[in-house]
Structure 1
Amino acid sequence: MTYTAWDLHTPRLCLATSTDLVHWEKRGPPLFPDFMDVECTPEGRTQIRHGHTKSGAIFPERDADGKYIMIFGDAFLCVAESEDLIRWRARPFNHHFATGVHPWENRLLEPGPAPIKTRDGRWILVYNVATTGAPGYGGDQYSISQMLIDLDRVSEGPLARLERPSVIVSTQNERVGQVNQVVFCEGMVQFRGRWFLYYGQGDSELGVATADVQQ
């Protein structure tokens, strides 16, 4: 399990393991304490930041080179690789996986749940986005979208992504909360022929969105 540790100043991506999903062991210090990336501020400016890492989504299978791959970050989507799921090496920021291409994702991208494998062997990554402002979206508004990935060609970036977000701010508790204008996914499961996507609403409450499993 990847999780984010926060000391009230800098979030840092960490790792824990469990054999029963009840008792968890933290595995060492933060994964990438010296990572350097670029942040886009709500005002649309860019700035370099040090040691700021969040939200890792790990592919549950090895790639063609025998490595496990993680997509992480909350500005651009970056890449790390591992041989044992414990020790991870982040590729440099300038070798990032993806950044925003649509106006509604021009401030940040951040991975959500672990990628889901499709019938043809590709992968769907559900991810969070934020915008500095776009037609139909307020400044710093968050949405949830999806992209298609070839695990064996991660260095080439996404194969495709949705033209519009799959989940947007639409209810009062998403418009107003601890942080306004936010929907934010982190967990997804399949149960009895349906997908259940669990997401934060205004950083205050938890919602769920459902979709039928395609046969």
Structure 2
Amino acid sequence: MTVARLSGITYYPVKGCAGTAVPEATLTRAGLPGDRVYAIADEKGDPRWQGGDPALALITPELTEGELTLRAPGRDSIPADSADVHAWLTDVLGVPSTLVRCPAGNGGRLHLVSQASLDALNHRLAARGATPVPMDRFRPNLVVDGWDAPHTEDGAARLVVGGTELAFTEETIRCAVTMVDQRTGLRSGPEPLRTLADYRRAADGGLAFGAYFEVRRPGGLTVGDEVTVGTR
């Protein structure tokens, strides 16, 4: 019997921007430390997202001891507390943009996707002659490898991972962000949404892929930890 294990941990210091993969983390009741604690806002103060601004994927945040630095191809890095950070973002994205703090972070949610789910999707993509997509199209916080059945995450009432316990809250409804190539910052649809529409319709009509969990028992987790499932 295959043992399921945690194969990836990623947090996203700035909503919509590139993530930071780490080998271990300590979860709190609020979720993954440093996850989505900043956002980039438009002229109205609304957060920008990759569906409308795919070039966000090219901005790489680095959060070190509470200090945020932003990087982008072909530009000097800039500290988040620089007076020029808003001009820097505006130049990178080509539209007026400001960096803002998100007091609630990610609201304690952890986004989890299994490798089995991605493998099943890519099998369908290959069958229709489309190019497989990498895991980063779905921007998960946690990746689990070793489950035999795809979408096991949908039916897991709880997960025990390392010293933590997670509880299922809801399926993840996908949007246009999944069509953005995270390496180029360009939209390359209609996949994977077109194929997901064939077999992953949720009750509300959205396209479900992956699931959200909340932290029931804080603690440490490490890539390679065994993942134990408790069903509903």
So what's the TM-score if we normalise by structure 1?
0.27
Structure of larger gyration radius? 2
Higher strand share goes to which structure?
1
Task: Name the TM-score, length of structure 2 as normaliser.
Answer: 0.26
Which structure has more relative contact order (CA 8 Å, sep 6+)? It is 2
